[in-house]
Amino acid sequence: MAGTPIPVWFAGGGTGGHLYPGLAIARALVRLNGDVRPHFVGARRGIERDVLPGTEFPHTLLDLHPLYRPRVWQNWKTLRGAVSAWGALGTLAQRSQPRLVVGTGGYASGLTLFWAWRHGVRVVQQMGDAYPGITARLSARFTAQAYLGFPEATATLPRGHCEYIDTGNPIEPPPDIRPDAAVARKKWGFPAHARVLLVFGGSQGARALNQAVAAWVEQGLPGELCLIWATGKGQYDAFSHFDRPDVRVVPYLSPISDAYAACDLALVRAGMMGTSELSAWGIPMLLVPLPTAAADHQTRNAMVIERSGAGILLPQRELTTAHLDATIRELLGDALHVKKMAQAARARGRPHAAADIAARIDALLRAG
């Protein structure tokens, strides 16, 4: 029999890396405790505007803006949005008084977390990157628990009130019984014995990766290598003509598990969710961080992964055809090194992070 509804707000967004973890945690929390009622709070200008209407969760989108650092004269938008959002949060609280607020990062979370603190509502956070953003670092001072995607994040976080817990990032976990790699390769039309490199740059793709791979394919791939290459929807038309039996070019990967099961290596950006999924699958990574990422946090992610032995940092400025070809050929010729990288990736993997985080949040709710 259902008990008293427990409202829990999820605050975060702007990008998928700050929204999808919240959705994963919310779903795991509802599975664990059917009385929980998640409500998402985000920004009208973020990805949540497109994603949340298609989910099962109620949501409120506010006129939230980031800090405009290069264009400081535009920060009037940030101030105006904060004032209107503060009032909107008060109105929302009259209908749905939150027992707890879960922050998942990005500019869309900061004001809601601060509102919760000022109104005596307990705050927890999911911090996905090795170098958490300014919102996460500042609000850690009034956060009860923070669930870390990278344990190395503690080096830059304030000490004191917050309990930092190494949970990993909440991802869709690999199946308990992994698909057979040879069978997975045949699904892509590859020989069972082929070596397979997966290339993707996030949901929108990465033009620098696409251009480097295109030049490499034109030059000539190692004979035993096949590619699964996800260009991103917006860039697919520019690169689709490279599709052939040993180079499968797709706009996006759905389900991505079919690609993970088939590949030996991955050439990717260094975003928190993609690297967390690859770690859980035990896939060695060649990491090309996005140079324009806020506070260069993708480079921080790549550096800690490289130090762990699970990946190789390849800065975008060094992503030449010759360098890419030499790096891949060296790995293909050193099976022991690749095996050790896979083991190191698997050691970092936290496939059940969403369930772990949900259990910790549920314990806080039950404790009152």
Question: Sorting pLDDT into bands at 50, 70 and 90, what band is 75?
Answer: low
Give me the chain's average pLDDT, please.
Answer: 93
Longest dimension (CA), the chain: 65
- The CA dihedral of 326, 328, 334, 340, to the nearest 10 degrees, is 130
The C-alpha atoms of residue 219 and residue 225 are separated, in whole angstroms, by 14
Per DSSP, which regions of 25-91 are E strands?
36-43, 59-62
pLDDT of residue 68: 65
Q: Name the CATH superfamily, with its identifier, for domain 181-348.
A: Glycogen Phosphorylase B; (3.40.50.2000)
The C-alpha atoms of residue 281 and residue 62 are separated, in whole angstroms, by 37
Token code pair at residue 59: 């949501």
Measured in residues, the chain has a length of 368
Evaluate if residue 259 carries a pLDDT over 70: yes
Contact 86, 110 (CB under 8 A): no
In the chain, what are the domain boundaries? 6-172+352-367, 181-348
For residue 80, the Cα-to-chain-centroid distance in whole angstroms is 30
- Domain 6-172+352-367 shares a fold with domain 181-348: yes
In single-letter form, the type of residue at position 18 comes to H
Evaluate if residue 265 carries a pLDDT over 90: yes
Q: Which fold has domain 6-172+352-367?
A: Rossmann fold (3.40.50)
Question: Sorting pLDDT into bands at 50, 70 and 90, what band is 1?
Answer: very low
In single-letter form, the type of residue at position 177 comes to I
Contact 341, 310 (CB under 8 A): yes
